[in-house]
Amino acid sequence: MKDMNASAASALCPICGEGHVTEGMVMTEHAYKGTTTSLPLRFTTCDTCGSESAGLEESRANKRAAMAFRKSVDGLLTGAEICALRERFKLTQTQAANLFGGGPVAFSKYENDDVAQSEAMDNLLRLVRRSDAAFWVLVEEKGMQAEFSKAKEIVSTSTSSKTFALADYRNGSPRGPNKTTLRPYRRDTEKWK
């Protein structure tokens, strides 16, 4: 941590090229569609010329904070919520884009609050968030069953084991409902008595 501070402090000022910059942050008021909030604004200050500027990293963080605020005002899922949904279904960002649409880097941008998803995309994500069945229907619609065959195997295994247990009962096996006592097993003939 000390090294990181040292390297941040030793960064040269992009304005005068002589001084060194230090990171700072102020809370600034943002208004969007009649809603006002306070958001952190990151910047760097030069110890020589006194210039305040925002580099690539600071600008990105500032834009993301503003976008996250606009999403919340518009009632859209936040980047963190979209990320949680994707991880719940164990999807990569590429798989999510193939399944839901939006283009190859869409989910990286949604999750980082670089862009806001459309209302239609938001509705689709909310539908899948509420219903696992909707997720599987979509997988089928997009012909992506093969990619999720492992997950399906788990589902079918548990189903068939239930079916097997039920069949056991119906065939009147020793532990079935028609036989309340266990029959002894003869070791010499290897048959039930």
Residue 51 vs 112, nearer CB to Zn ion: 51
Residue number, 22 or 93, with CB nearest to Zn ion: 22
Half-sphere exposure of 95 (CA within 13 A, CB side): 17
Question: Count of alpha carbons within 13 Å of 27, Cβ hemisphere only?
Answer: 3
Segment 4-10 long-range contacts (CB within 8 Å, at least 24 positions apart): none
DSSP-derived 3-state class of residue 50: coil
Per-residue x/- marks for Zn ion, 12-41, CB under 5 A? -x-xx--x----------------------
Interface with Zn ion (CB under 5 A), residue total: 8
Does residue number 73 form part of the binding site for Zn ion (CB under 5 A)?
A: no
| Site for Zn ion contains 106 (CB under 5 A) | no
Q: Among 41, 43, 44, 46, indicate the residue that binds Zn ion (CB under 5 A).
A: 46
Task: Compare residues 10 and 145 and give the one whose CB is closer to Zn ion.
Answer: 10
Determine contact, residues 5/12, Cβ cutoff 8 Å: no
Q: Which helix (H) or strand (E) holds 31?
A: strand 21-32
DSSP state of 28: E
Single residue of 49, 137, 155, 167 touching Zn ion by CB under 5 A: 49
Q: Smallest distance from the beta carbon of 44 to Zn ion, in angstroms? A: 10
Nearest residue (CB) to Zn ion, 16 versus 31 = 16
Question: Is 15 or 65 the residue whose CB approaches Zn ion more closely?
Answer: 15
CA-wise closest residue to 40 among 56, 60, 20, 22: 60
Give the contact letters, 127-146, x = binds to Zn ion (CB under 5 A), - = no: --------------------
Helix (H/G/I), strand (E/B), else coil: 90:
coil
Note whether 125 and 117 are within 8 A (CB). Answer: yes
Q: Which residues bind Zn ion (CB under 5 A)?
A: 13, 15-16, 19, 46, 48-49, 51
